Amino acid sequence: MHRQVWAVLEEEAVMMNHCCFSQLLGILWLFGSISGHDPCLNHTVLSDPWRNIAFSIITFPGFPLCDSHLAGLWVRFTGIGGDVIREGCLGQNICGSNYCAYIPGVTHPPLGEGSKSVTLAHRVSGHCGRWVTNGLLILACSGGYYVYNLPLLRCPATFGVRHRNCSLTFCGPRAECTGNGGCVCSSGYRLPEEVLPTNDTYGCSDIDECAMDSTICASNADCNNTVGAHNCTCNQGYRVRLEGEIASRLNPCQDFDECLEDPTICGSNATCTNNIGAHTCVCNQGYHVLLEGSIASASNPCRDIDECVKDSICGPNATCTNIPGAHTCTCYQGYRVSLHSMPSPSNLCQEIDECVENSTICGPNATCTNTAGAYTCICNQGYHVRDSIASASNPCQDVDECSENICGSNTVCSNSAGSYECYCEAGYILSTGLLWERGVTLCKSVQKELDSLTPPKGQSPGIFFLQKLTKELEDSHDIISEGIVTGVLTMALSVTDEMSFEEEVGSSSEAASAILKLSEMLVSSMVEPTDTQSIKTVRTPTMEINSQAVGPDRNISKFPALHAKGNTMQVNLLDIAKKNNGSAAAVLMSVSGMEKLMSPSFFRTENVTEMYSDIITATLPNTNDIELPEPVNFTIHHKKKSQAGLVTCVYWEDKGEEKHWSVEGCTASFSDENYTVCSCTHLSTFAILLQTEEEDVNEDDPLLEWINLVCMCVGLAFLALAIFSFLFCSWNPKINNTARLHLSICLFSAHLLFMLGVSRTENTVVCAAIAGILHFLFLSSFVWMLLETVQLFLLVRSLTKVQVIQREGLRAWYLLLIGYGVPMVVVGVSAGVFSDGYGSKEQCWLEKDKNFQWSFIGPVCSILALNLVSFCVIIWSLWPTLANMKSEVSQAKDTRLIVFKIVAQFFILGCAWILGFFQSTTVLKYLFIILNSQQGTFIFIVHCLLNKEVRQEYKRWFSCLFRAEKT
C-alpha cells in the first residue's frame, strides 16, 4: 500500500518538475537566443572510456568516481566510451563508480527535433529506479549528436554511456562492441586491473591462457600461448577426437589404435597390441622372426616354425603333422590319449580297450576280447553268426537247439535265448530226480513209478510219492528251472486226480497238505539269490507264480505288490531283509484244481459255506527269520457275484493228523462285491469262504401256505369294506379319514398284486414292472401308517389340552403329497441307481444283489421305529388324563373308548411288522402272517364298526335293503 502511494506521489512530482523545467528551458532558450548561447555549439566534451556501461574494473586508484561536479553543464559524450546516456536499467559497480545513472523508460528525441526533459535513475541494492534525479535536459543537435544539461548527482555516481551506433573501431584497439553499445576487450585480451583507461584506448592486454588454466588443453597435449590466443598440440601417439579442430577440453587428445589404423603394421602372422601412445608386435605361436632379437613389422615379418623336426614332440604311437603356425599329433589307430588334449610327451597315446569303451561293440550275446590296437568278438554259447564277424550291426543270433530233438522221447523242449530246457511231458518224471542232466536224464512213466513204490501201511502210493519228491527237494540246494517246477506241479496234481479219497487210507486233506508242501519247496528252489533285486513271473494255463527277491545291494526303497491270477499280496520285504543279512524273497502262487482237495467242508462252522475265491499260497523262500514285522495284506478277488452272507478270510492249518481251514491270525479288513482284503499275521495258503445261514427246512410248509392264503383273503375282504365305508358313509366333519382311506387302498392293492403277480416270472419285463409297483405300494402303505400315527398324536395332544377339536390333523393335500411323493422318490432313485434290481428268476420282488433289498428294508425300519416310539409317547401322554377322569361323567366313557381305539391302533400302525425280523421259529412265522394279513380287519373294526355314526349308516342301508326285498 505504501509503495503504491509513493509511486503516485513520485509520478506527480515528476510531472510537476517536467512542467517547471519546460518553462525554465523555454526561458533559457529565449535567453540563449537573446544572448547568442547555443548548447549544440557551446558545450563540454567528455570522452572518458570508463563511463562505458561495460567497464567493470573497480580496482583502479580513485574508485569510485563521481560526476556531481558536472551539474548544470551542457556536455557531449564522445570517444571510445560512447556518445549517449543509456536508456534502461544498469547494474552496480560499473562506469567507474558504485552507481551508474541511466534514463529510465524514455528514449532520446529524434535528431533535429528539439529538446526533452527527463529524469535520471540508478540501481540501489539490486532494484532499478530506487534513486531518481530530475532535471536532465536532452538536446538533439542538427549535427547528428546529443548534448545534455546534467543535473546534480549524489556521490558516488557517474553517468552511464553507450555507443549509439558501434563499429569495429569505435571501442579502440583490441576491444569490440557488445550488442547493447558497451565495449569489452577482444577474445584473448583483458582489461588491466589497476589502470584507468585513457581517452583513446582501454589498455586491453594479452591473456596467457596456458598459465591461467593448465587444463585448458586437457590431458595428453601441450599448450602454447600466442598474442590474443593459444595453441594446443597433441602429444605423440594421440590425436583429437574431432579431426580438423583444435585440442581443448571439449575436444581432448585421445590415444589412437595404430593396430586398427594399419592392420599390416606388424606384417603377417603377428599380433599387434596397442599401448598408450605406441604399439607392440609379437609373433603368433608357431612363428618367429628370422633375425633373433628384432621386432616384427611389415618389413620384418614372422615366419612358420616346423615343430615336427623334433622327433619326440608327439611321443610314441603318434604321428606329427606340421601346419602353418602349429603342428598336430594323431594317435595310431587303436590308441588315444587319456587327457582331452593333443598327444605330447606328457600326454602319451595309450591303447584303447574297445571292449570296455563300448560294451555293445560286438552286439548282444557276444564276448569282446581286447588286443593290441584292436579287438575280437566271439558269440556266446548257444549263439552264432551266419557270416562275417559279430558286431553291433551283425549280432549273434540264438541257436534253436530244440529243432535237433536234443531232449529225447517223452520230453518237452523249451528253447530260450542262448539256451534250452528239457522237462518231461505229462505223465512222466525225470529219472535223475528233479534236475535234468544232459545226456543222462530220461523221462520215465509216473504210473510205473507209483506201481514200483511200497508205501508205509495206511498211506496211499500217491501221497507217499509226493512226500518222496518233497524229501528230495529238502536234501537238494540246487536251483530248479521254471519248466521243471510247473511240470512237477502239474504231474503232482494229476497224481491226486487218480487217487480215491473214499478209501480209509487216504483223504483229500492229506493230499492237499502234501501238494502244498511240495509246491512251497518247488517255488523256493526256483528263486535265485541276488545281490540287488529281481522279479520273476511264471504263467501256465493252470497256475501263476510271482516271485520277488532283494539283496544287500538293492537300490529301491519300496517293493511292488506280488500278483497271481488277479490276487495281490503286499508284504514289507525290505524290513524282512533287514533281519536276514539284507536278503529276502517272497513268492505268491495260485494253482487251479486245489479246490477239490481243500473244499469248504474243512471249515468248522454250522453255516453253509462255499469257496468264494481262488486258493493262493504265499511263502518266504530261503529266509531264516520268517517272522513278519507287520501283517501282510492280501487282496483276493471273488469268483462269483456278490451274495448275501458272511465273507471269511481263512488259511490252511496243518497240525499233523488234523488239517482244516482256520481263521486264526486272519481278518477281513475290507470287502465289497468284487474283492476282499485279508490282513494276516503269518503266511500260508489262503482263500475266501462265504458263509450263509442254514437252509430253512420248513420253507415249503403246506399248512403255512394255506393259512397265508386264507388270511390274505379275509384281510382283503375287510379292506374292501373299509374302503367302501370311508368313501360312501356320512362322517362327522371333524374326522379326517384321508390317511385311513389311502392306507386301506395301498394295502388292498399291494396284497392283491402280491397274491396274483409275485410268481409271474415268465416275462422279465412284466416281472420287473410288478416288482416296481409292489415296491411303491408297500412303501406307500408304510408312509400312510406313519401319517396315521402323526394324525393320532395330534388328536391325543388336543385331548390332553382339553381343546375343542375343529378337524383332525393335517390338510388332505399335505397328506397326499407326502403319502405318495416320498415313495415315488425312493422308487425312482432306486431304479435309477440299479435298474436290474427289480425282479429275479425266483419271484417278482427285489434282488439281493448289491444289497438292493435295503431300498425297501431301510425306509420300513425307519418308519416302524418312529411308529413304535410315537405309540409309546401317545400312551404316556394319555395316562395322566385318564387317571384324573371320573367314571360317572359321560365324557369319561368317550375317553375310555378313545383309549381302547388307541391300543387297537398298535396293529393298524404296522408295529406287528417287526415280527418279520424274527423268523427263527415257526410260531413267529405264523404270528407274522396272521397279524399282518389282518391289518385291514383291524382298520374296519376300529374306524368303522366301533363308530356309532357308521353303525347307524349300516342299519339304514340294511333297512333299505330288507324293504326292497319284501316289496
At 921-960, the pLDDT tens digits run 677 777 777 777 778 887 887 778 777 777 778 778 877 7
H-helix or E-strand containing 49? Answer: none
Q: From CA 510, how far away is CA 659, in angstroms rounded?
A: 7
Q: From CA 536, how far away is CA 556, in angstroms rounded?
A: 17
Q: What are phi and psi of 518, to 5 degrees?
A: -65, -45
Whether the per-residue pLDDT at 504 is higher than 60: the answer is: no
Q: From CA 591, how far away is CA 490, in angstroms rounded?
A: 9
Q: Which three cell numbers stand for residue 192?
A: 588491466
Amino acid sitting at position 845? W
| C-alpha distances in Å from residue 446, one per residue of 158, 424, 431, 495, 522 | 152, 10, 10, 8, 18
**pLDDT of 788-799, one tens digit each?**
888 878 877 776
Distance from chain centroid for Cα 499: 64
Q: What is the pLDDT of residue 632?
A: 92
Residue 263 burial (10 A CB sphere; 0-12, 13-18, 19+): exposed
| Best CATH choice for the domain 541-695 from the list 2.60.220.50, 1.10.150.50, 1.10.287.610, 3.40.50.720 | 2.60.220.50
Residues ≥6 apart with Cβ < 8 Å to 112: 140, 141, 142
How far separated are the first and last CA of the chain, in Å rounded? 140
Tell me, yes or no, if the two domains 541-695 and 702-756+774-823+860-958 fold the same way: no
∠ CA 743-878-799, rounded to 5°? 75
DSSP string, 361-401: TT-TTEEEEEETTEEEEEEPTTEE-SSS---SSS--EE--G
Q: What is the pLDDT of residue 160?
A: 92
Angle between helices 812-833 and 738-757 (to 10 degrees): 30
Q: From CA 482, how far away is CA 445, in angstroms rounded?
A: 21
Nearest to 204 by CA among 375, 15, 52, 5: 52
Whether the per-residue pLDDT at 965 is higher than 70: the answer is: no
Average pLDDT over residues 238-263: 83
Label residue 1 by pLDDT band (50, 70, 90): very low
Within 682-802, strands assigned E span 685-692
**Percent residues over pLDDT 90 in the chain:** 12
Q: What is the pLDDT of residue 693?
A: 60
Q: Is the torsion defined by CA of 242, 245, 249, 252 positive or negative?
A: positive
Residues ≥6 apart with Cβ < 8 Å to 86: 53, 100, 102, 103, 160, 161, 162, 180, 181
Contact 252, 223 (CB under 8 A): no
**pLDDT of 784-837, one tens digit each?**
888 888 887 887 777 666 544 445 556 777 788 888 999 999 998 988 888 888
Whether the per-residue pLDDT at 439 is higher than 70: the answer is: yes
Label residue 22 by pLDDT band (50, 70, 90): very low
Domain 702-756+774-823+860-958 of CATH type 3.30.70.3000: no
Every domain of the chain and the residues it spans = 38-206, 221-255, 270-304, 318-352, 366-398, 400-526, 541-695, 702-756+774-823+860-958
Q: From CA 895, how far away is CA 876, in angstroms rounded?
A: 15
Least confident of 177-191, 374-388, 500-514, 738-752: 500-514
CB atoms within 10 A of CB 290: 9
∠ CA 27-33-35, rounded to 5°? 95
Q: What is the pLDDT of residue 687?
A: 92
Residue 558 burial (10 A CB sphere; 0-12, 13-18, 19+): exposed
Residues ≥6 apart with Cβ < 8 Å to 346: none
Whether the per-residue pLDDT at 149 is higher than 90: the answer is: yes
Least confident of 489-503, 517-531, 629-643, 693-707: 693-707
Q: What is the pLDDT of residue 860?
A: 86
Q: What is the pLDDT of residue 384?
A: 87
Q: If you count DSSP H runs as helices and E runs as strands, how many of each does the chain have, helices first?
A: 18, 46
∠ CA 239-240-241, rounded to 5°? 120
∠ CA 941-946-948, rounded to 5°? 145
**pLDDT of 268-281, one tens digit each?**
889 998 888 788 89
Q: What is the pLDDT of residue 163?
A: 92
Residues ≥6 apart with Cβ < 8 Å to 605: 691
Global model pTM greater than 0.95: no
